Amino acid sequence: MTDRAAPAAPAHVEPFVRVLGEAEAIRFLLTFGGAELYLANSPKGRSRLAEEFGVERATEIARAAEHLPRRVPLAKEWIAAVWSNQGLTDAEIARRLHVTDVTVRAWRAKKPWRGLRKAKSADPRQLPLL
């Protein structure tokens, strides 16, 4: 797998990425995404969030996401972009996200993904655009 510049996290996912880092944010989204999640400002360690990520991190997540809706986003398109950037195939991404490979290719065709593809080598005969 080759790591290129990571795609920027969308605004509704950015607080989770800031607190947890990219890989752990993806794990958080895949675990809790799509449903409401109560984020206690001072968790006692009995919640699934505290069990999965620890009390300290659960507190940080609650603070970072206090102005976000209680429903945790799915962010599958962003996750797919990150995984594609890491070198996973469309088929593997589709399997992990429980979507079709057609969906992954459609996401790839969108503008934010276009910068993630390997750039073609420039033709030296081509004049620069001014």
Domain membership flag for residue 45: yes
Q: In this structure, is residue 100 part of a structural domain? A: yes
Instruction: Please provide the distance, in angstroms rounded to a whole number, between the alpha carbons at the two ends of the chain.
Output: 36
Contacts for 61 with CB less than 8 Å, ≥ 6 apart: 15, 16, 19, 20, 28, 39, 49, 53
48 and 19 together in one domain: yes
Question: Is 28 among the domain residues?
Answer: yes
Question: Same structural domain for residues 80 and 110?
Answer: yes
Residue 59 lies in a domain: yes
Structural domain harbouring 57: 14-64
- Mean pLDDT, residues 14-37 taken together: 94
Q: 71 lies in a domain?
A: no
- DSSP 8-state code for residue 33: T
Q: What does the mean pLDDT of the chain come to?
A: 86
Task: Say how many domains are in the chain.
Answer: 2
Write down the pLDDT at residue 117.
47
- Based on C-alpha coordinates, what's the Rg of the chain? 18
Q: How does DSSP assign 67-93, residue by residue? A: TS-SBPP--HHHHHHHHHHTT--HHHH
Say if residues 34 and 67 touch (Cβ distance below 8 Å). no
Q: Could you tell me if 46 and 80 lie in one domain? A: no
| CA-based max dimension of the chain | 65
* Percent of the chain scoring above 70 in pLDDT: 86
Whether 3 is in a domain gets the answer no
Residue 81 pLDDT: 94
The answer to whether 71 and 36 have CB atoms below 8 angstroms apart is yes
- Between helices 76-85 and 22-32, what is the axis angle to 10°? 140
Q: At 119, list the tokens.
A: 């750039």
> What pLDDT digit, counting tens, does each position of 61-92 carry?
999 988 888 899 999 999 999 999 999 999 99
Same domain, 99 and 59: no
- 4 domain-assigned: no
